[in-house]
Amino acid sequence: MDGLRHDSLTARRLAAALGEARFRLIDVGCSGGLDPGWRAFEDRLSAFGFDPSVFEIDRLAAQETNPEVRYVNGYVGLPDDHPLKGAGGEAWRTDPWRRVSASRTQQLQLAREAGRPAQPRRPAPAYAPLPASPAARAAAGGQPLRAAPPRLAGDATQQDLMARNLWVHAHLDGGTIHLPDFLAAAGVEDVDFVKIDVDGTDFEVLRSLEQTLSGAGVLGVSIEVGYSGTGDPHFNSFHNVDAFMRRQGFDLMDLTVRRYALASLPFPFLYPHPIAAQTSRGRPLIGDALYLRDFGHACRLDPAAWSDAKLIKLAALYCLCGLLDHAAELLDMFKDRLGAVLDIPALLDQLAAEIQTIDPDLNVAFEPFADYAGYTAAYEADVAYFYGAADRRHDQHMAVIVERNAALLAAEAARADALAAQASAAQVWAWHEAMTRTLSWRITAPLRALRRLLARP
Amino acid sequence: MSEAGSGIEGLRPDSGFARLVAGSLKAESFKLIDVGCAGGLPSGWRAFGDRLAAIGFDCDAGEVARLNAAERNPNVRYECGFVGVPAGHPLNAQIAGRGYWHLWVAGRLAYERSHRNRAAKAAGEPAPSVDDYFHDIVHNQDWSPFPTHGFDTDYRPTFEIFEPSDEAAAAAVSDGPPDRIIDLAAFAKGADFEDADFIKIDVDGPDYEVLRSANALLARPTLLGVALEVCFYGSHDANDNSFHNMDRLMREKGFELYGLSVRAYASAAMPFPYLDVHPSMNTGGRPVQGDAIYIRDLGSRTRKAEAAALSDDKLAKAAALYALFSLPDYAAEMLVVHRDRLSRLFDVDEALDLLAVQIQADQEPPLLTYRDYMAALESEEPRFFDVYSRRNAWFNGLMATGAAAPRIAEELELLRQDRDALASKAADLERRLGETEARGGHDLDRLRGAEATLAAIRRSTSWRLTAPLRWLARRKG
């Protein structure tokens, strides 16, 4: 999940105000562990993490210190007999995955490790068209890629595979988990946040949660979205996810774009060797979409139906997701209601301090605003601090570049001087050594000794 | 809230490869339709030189007159009017008076509040306090509530194609008042622009209606790409000007998403700074708008039949579009996949080298040829990995000015101390060497003098005559 902050003091203060209330997180695709940002809720955090990697679930469970955080092995999705199960067809069907440089480099790496020659580079094969109706899809056996995960030849460890994002080659196992049934069996009636990142069937997972999203007081959802695909209403593509989430009453609050270049002329990979994944440029392929509740729409949500704890948790979520402005708006909007359990002015002051540290380069040449009142008064007065951030950031970068370049040039000159002096000293010393080794110098040694003797007082 | 001028985020100001394509086109020009052209055509399109033909639309009569007066290309012209859905257009039955915006957040956003404050100040009136603003204006008003007719969740009708009649086409291109409503598909038909290569739409509101009204153009396989300003708010209603509706429509018409920017706007309750020098987007906040670039994926084998039906010129223009939108990898794929056909227009290997130059634009020379660049990737050279860390290291270095500058100054001071110590040591050694040489020279002179005296004594007659006496003395011990 892109963009979850780990350093929000306001989020920690809001979490502390929850008292006995817990923050319930569902993490579908928890490989790598829960994002550290969630630990802002400390021992109030309850979580279920799901993943098909047996190794990863065992590893996470062994490391976990919070007894309220549990990891479960399996594939979250619709029940096998659900009419929409597999309706999206093969997850990467129209995706250009087989044409991108990440796929090509992974092929090369795996071939190298297995000691076999790499296949020559050539355009990817055509995909079979998707049958039009769910019934036809069912007849065609449209299933996601988990049906037969390819296994890696060679001796790469499970840990290596997870670290290199080659999870599809890892040991995946477990049955289908229908989350509403799972939560009911676990006695969980209340969920605060759901994260979904399963690399393919994300939309199906989301659809399986329709009942939970409407009935369990869910405040937010983060989901990995695909930017490829067709207009098909079942396909795992952003437009379907977005329409679905808006129908459930959520607003899009953040959207990231991850790019993958083609193998035909690839841009460099973002991550260190040997991780072949997204590239510095290229076409948008996937990203993270963040959906949160927004009480600013008077027509959409009735605040009376939401507890104080839910509002506090939503404010904390805004802080964790970098939406400090929305946190301030929410606290201001419900200051009368939440004033009994929260020190609203202190929290607003904390937010004002936090917003000024989020982009430290923008604050050069400006005195920090002491509190929320000072910050908003300056905004109302249209002061220069609030304008031209792009230019300021650029100017600041340029100033730093100039300063660094000047310092580096001076350091380079000093280093060159030092090296020259060192070379000069070495040469002089060499001359000295050569001279003291000459025959005449050694022959005349007694004369010098005699002179030293005579020179004694 | 569009970007300055008629810009599209992601469009490069130039491309050597696009220029090569422009100079190689056999029969076609590059036809562009720019809806919302205030500010003029972005410079990137000028890479097509005199092969560029364009029609720009804007509702600002003064701006249209200015652009027409400044234009030097006789194939580029600007029309005044509102591109939209005129009375009698069949799309009106679907829209049925629905608003194109719902759940609009503008009243709560910082830029809106700043504009209101400025207007109040200009009028000599006091602006409402923040509390009053929020409690009397923002929270108590539904800026764009849900549709009054209930939600329309049937997305399929939005794909319906409205082919313009000959009469509508003739009417669209005839002179009219500057505030006339222009049917885009009809105008394109009347102006011989139905085979347009690219359409840009940015009208700050009814963008989705304009797009739907132009469904006839979208359905033509000769339309290679579309740039849209998209909105990240709205409901799930099938008629909302929201990104999900545009995205679904574009995919249904066979386009793929090749570029997406996200512009964030902060709440007035505690705004992040504005990026620009006037109130608009902020450094933080929720996504409100962005630019989406759609292009046909003619390098894909799934689109083989579509590519086969297009002219060589069209394929070359599609590759040029990729290069102009900073996707030289897709341009290269087009060249590799359609090498035989594109070889009729230009030297494909030379073109691949041009694309290799474009992709290495931020690297130090010497730049690699396409062949060497690809070989370097296949051997997993370090340059192809870890851009994130390298960029972060550089960026963090910049950001940590306060930490970096003293550290460098410290290093500099240490180096200076080293340099001074070494220089002092060298001077001391030189001094000692001088002394040694002087002393050694003196002793040597004495030695040589003594040697000369000894040789003279040995050569003297008295020395030779007294030799038997010295022999006797040695025998006696």
* Residues B228-257 pLDDT 10s: 999 999 999 999 999 999 999 999 999 999
| Residues A249 and B357 sit within 8 Å (Cβ to Cβ) | no
Of A280, A300, A418, the CB nearest to B387: A280
pLDDT at B440 (0 to 100): 62
pLDDT bracket for residue A401 (50, 70, 90): low
**pLDDT at residue B16 is higher than 90:** yes
Least confident segment among A145-149, A251-255, B290-294:
A145-149
pLDDT at B446 (0 to 100): 64
| Residues B101 and B205 sit within 8 Å (Cβ to Cβ) | yes
pLDDT bracket for residue B356 (50, 70, 90): very high
Candidates A297, A437, A398, A328; CA nearest to B266 is: A328
**pLDDT at residue A137 is higher than 50:** no
Candidates A99, A101, A78, A86; CA nearest to A228 is: A99
A46 to chain B, closest Cα gap in Å? 27
Task: Give A29-87 pLDDT, tens digit per residue.
Answer: 999 999 999 999 999 999 999 999 998 999 999 999 999 999 999 999 999 889 888 88
Integer Cα distance of B169 and B173 in angstroms = 7
pLDDT at A313 (0 to 100): 98
**pLDDT at residue B411 is higher than 90:** no
Examine residue B287 and state whether it is found in any structural domain, yes or no: yes
Integer Cα distance of B175 and B164 in angstroms = 18
Q: CB distance A408–B388 less than 8 Å? A: no
Percent of chain B exceeding pLDDT 90 equals 62
Last residue of a domain, one of B322, B345, B367: B322
Supply the range of the domain harboring residue B189: 16-322
Q: Which residue has the tokens 């690839």?
A: A266
**pLDDT at residue A272 is higher than 90:** no
**Same-domain check for residues B61 and B167:** yes
Examine residue B6 and state whether it is found in any structural domain, yes or no: no
Task: Give A203-253 pLDDT, tens digit per residue.
Answer: 999 999 998 998 889 999 999 999 998 889 999 999 999 999 999 999 999
Determine the residue of chain B that is closest to A329 in CA distance: B269
Determine the residue of chain A that is closest to B285 in CA distance: A323
Higher local confidence (pLDDT), B103 or A355: A355
Q: CB distance B447–A379 less than 8 Å? A: no
Q: How confident is the model over B324-348, as a mean pLDDT? A: 97
B382 to chain A, closest Cα gap in Å? 7
| Residue A149 buriedness (CB in 10 A; 0-12 / 13-18 / 19+) | middle
Of A273, A417, A425, the CB nearest to B425: A425
pLDDT at B409 (0 to 100): 58
pLDDT at B396 (0 to 100): 55
Q: In chain B, what residues touch A415 (CB-CB under 8 Å)?
A: 415
Of A265, A266, A447, the CB nearest to B446: A447
| Residues A64 and A18 sit within 8 Å (Cβ to Cβ) | no
Least confident segment among A109-123, A186-200, A325-339:
A109-123
Determine the residue of chain A that is closest to B112 in CA distance: A380
Torsion angle of alpha carbons A423, A424, A426, A432, nearest 10°?
Answer: 160
Determine the residue of chain B that is closest to A448 in CA distance: B443
pLDDT at A133 (0 to 100): 40
Q: Which of A357-371, B243-257, B424-438 reaches the highest mean pLDDT?
A: B243-257
pLDDT at B414 (0 to 100): 66
Q: Quick one: tokens of A233?
A: 């209403």
| Residues B2 and B36 sit within 8 Å (Cβ to Cβ) | yes
Q: How confident is the model over B399-427, as a mean pLDDT? A: 60
**pLDDT at residue B122 is higher than 90:** yes
Q: In chain A, what residues touch B141 (CB-CB under 8 Å)?
A: 298
Sign for the CA dihedral angle at A380, A384, A387, A389 comes to negative
Candidates A156, A186, A183, A161; CA nearest to A172 is: A161
Integer Cα distance of B197 and B223 in angstroms = 5
Examine residue B358 and state whether it is found in any structural domain, yes or no: no
Q: CB distance B284–A324 less than 8 Å? A: yes
Q: CB distance B108–A415 less than 8 Å? A: no
Least confident segment among A180-184, B92-96, B295-299, B311-315:
B92-96
DSSP A160: H
Q: Which residue has the tokens 């306060």?
A: B402
Contacts of A330 (CB under 8 A, 6+ apart): A295, A311, A314, A315, A318
Integer Cα distance of A234 and B41 in angstroms = 38
Q: CB distance A300–B103 less than 8 Å? A: yes
**pLDDT at residue B401 is higher than 80:** no
- The string over A254-276, giving b where at least 16 C-beta atoms fall within 10 Å of a residue's C-beta and e elsewhere, is bbbbbbbbbbbbbbbbbbeebbb
Q: CB distance B274–A387 less than 8 Å? A: yes
Q: How confident is the model over B83-96, as a mean pLDDT? A: 89
Integer Cα distance of A9 and B115 in angstroms = 32
**In whole numbers, what is the pLDDT of chain B averaged over residues?**
87
DSSP A305: G
Q: How confident is the model over A280-289, as a mean pLDDT? A: 94
B372 to chain A, closest Cα gap in Å? 11
| Residues B91 and B159 sit within 8 Å (Cβ to Cβ) | no
Enclosing H/E stretch for A385: none
**pLDDT at residue B112 is higher than 50:** yes
**pLDDT at residue A161 is higher than 80:** no
**Same-domain check for residues B196 and B56:** yes
**pLDDT at residue A315 is higher than 90:** yes
B243 to chain A, closest Cα gap in Å? 7
ipTM of the shown complex: 0.80
**pLDDT at residue A165 is higher than 70:** no
Enclosing H/E stretch for A236: none
Alpha carbon separation from A261 to A284, B275, B322, B337, B467 (Å, rounded): 9, 29, 12, 16, 103
Q: Which of B239, B272, B334, B383 to mutate to test the interface with A (most CBs of A within 10 A)?
A: B272
**Same-domain check for residues B316 and B417:** no
Q: How confident is the model over B98-117, as a mean pLDDT? A: 87
Last residue of a domain, one of B322, B348, B369: B322
In terms of DSSP H, where are the helices of B387-400?
A: 387-399
Q: CB distance A440–B444 less than 8 Å? A: yes
Q: Which of B159, B243, B267 to mutate to test the interface with A (most CBs of A within 10 A)?
A: B267
Strands B286-295 and B256-260: antiparallel
**pLDDT at residue B180 is higher than 60:** yes
pLDDT bracket for residue B366 (50, 70, 90): confident
Q: Quick one: tokens of A418?
A: 């030092």
pLDDT at A154 (0 to 100): 45
DSSP A303: G
A90 to chain B, closest Cα gap in Å? 15
Candidates A98, A124, A266; CA nearest to B337 is: A124
Alpha carbon separation from B66 to A400, B39, B136, B181 (Å, rounded): 41, 10, 42, 21
**pLDDT at residue A140 is higher than 50:** no
Sign for the CA dihedral angle at B393, B399, B400, B406 comes to positive
**pLDDT at residue B403 is higher than 50:** no
Q: Which of A239, A256, A366, A409 to mutate to test the interface with B (most CBs of B within 10 A)?
A: A239
| Residues B267 and A326 sit within 8 Å (Cβ to Cβ) | yes
pLDDT at A111 (0 to 100): 86
Q: In chain A, what residues touch B146 (CB-CB under 8 Å)?
A: 299-300
Q: CB distance B159–A231 less than 8 Å? A: yes
Q: CB distance A125–B336 less than 8 Å? A: no
pLDDT at B472 (0 to 100): 75
Q: How many CB pairs under 8 A join A and B?
A: 343
B189 to chain A, closest Cα gap in Å? 27
Q: CB distance B273–A408 less than 8 Å? A: no
Q: CB distance B270–A298 less than 8 Å? A: no
**Same-domain check for residues B300 and B170:** yes
Q: CB distance B301–A230 less than 8 Å? A: no
pLDDT at A121 (0 to 100): 66
Determine the residue of chain B that is closest to A108 in CA distance: B378
Percent of chain B exceeding pLDDT 70 equals 86
**pLDDT at residue B155 is higher than 70:** yes
Integer Cα distance of A435 and A427 in angstroms = 12
pLDDT at B310 (0 to 100): 98
Candidates A273, A143, A271, A428; CA nearest to B379 is: A273
pLDDT at A151 (0 to 100): 43
pLDDT at B39 (0 to 100): 94
**Same-domain check for residues B460 and B311:** no
Bridge partners for B79 per DSSP: B57
Higher local confidence (pLDDT), A113 or B252: B252
Task: Give B259-271 pLDDT, tens digit per residue.
Answer: 999 999 999 999 9
Least confident segment among A215-219, B35-39, B456-460:
B456-460
Contacts of A252 (CB under 8 A, 6+ apart): A242, A245, A246, A289, A290, A291, B232, B233, B286, B287
DSSP B409: H
Where in B277-429 does DSSP place strands (E)? 286-295
pLDDT at A199 (0 to 100): 85
Q: CB distance B430–A428 less than 8 Å? A: yes
Question: How many domains does chain B divide into?
Answer: 2
| Residues B10 and B326 sit within 8 Å (Cβ to Cβ) | yes
Of B267, B331, B430, the CB nearest to A326: B267
Integer Cα distance of B214 and B194 in angstroms = 10
| Residue B388 buriedness (CB in 10 A; 0-12 / 13-18 / 19+) | middle
pLDDT bracket for residue A153 (50, 70, 90): very low
Q: CB distance A407–B408 less than 8 Å? A: yes
Integer Cα distance of B182 and B33 in angstroms = 13
Q: How confident is the model over A12-35, as a mean pLDDT? A: 95
**pLDDT at residue B462 is higher than 80:** no
Torsion angles phi and psi, residue A35, rounded to 5 = -60, 135
Distance of CA B469 to the CA centre of its chain: 108
Question: In this structure, which amino acid lies at residue A441?
Answer: W
pLDDT at A265 (0 to 100): 94
Task: Give B205-231 pLDDT, tens digit per residue.
Answer: 899 999 999 999 999 999 999 999 999
Higher local confidence (pLDDT), A298 or A134: A298
Q: How confident is the model over A316-338, as a mean pLDDT? A: 96
Q: In chain B, what residues touch A347 (CB-CB under 8 Å)?
A: none
Q: Which of A36-45, A445-454, B427-436 reaches the highest mean pLDDT?
A: A36-45
Sign for the CA dihedral angle at B41, B233, B143, B123 comes to negative
Last residue of a domain, one of B270, B289, B322: B322
Bridge partners for B230 per DSSP: B290
Higher local confidence (pLDDT), A112 or A73: A73
pLDDT at B280 (0 to 100): 92
Q: How confident is the model over B353-374, as a mean pLDDT? A: 90
pLDDT at A159 (0 to 100): 66
Q: CB distance B433–A428 less than 8 Å? A: yes
Percent of chain A exceeding pLDDT 90 equals 51
Q: How confident is the model over B433-440, as a mean pLDDT? A: 68
pLDDT at A91 (0 to 100): 60
Least confident segment among A278-292, B265-279, B446-460:
B446-460
pLDDT at B144 (0 to 100): 76
Q: Quick one: tokens of B441?
A: 């020279």
A48 to chain B, closest Cα gap in Å? 28
| Residues A226 and B238 sit within 8 Å (Cβ to Cβ) | no
Q: In chain A, what residues touch B370 (CB-CB under 8 Å)?
A: 265
Q: Quick one: tokens of B61?
A: 């009569």
**pLDDT at residue A183 is higher than 80:** yes
pLDDT bracket for residue B450 (50, 70, 90): low
Q: CB distance B422–A421 less than 8 Å? A: yes
pLDDT at A122 (0 to 100): 59
Bridge partners for A194 per DSSP: A26, A221
Integer Cα distance of A146 and A144 in angstroms = 6
Of A322, A389, A431, the CB nearest to B433: A431
Integer Cα distance of B304 and B191 in angstroms = 30
Q: How confident is the model over B104-132, as a mean pLDDT? A: 89
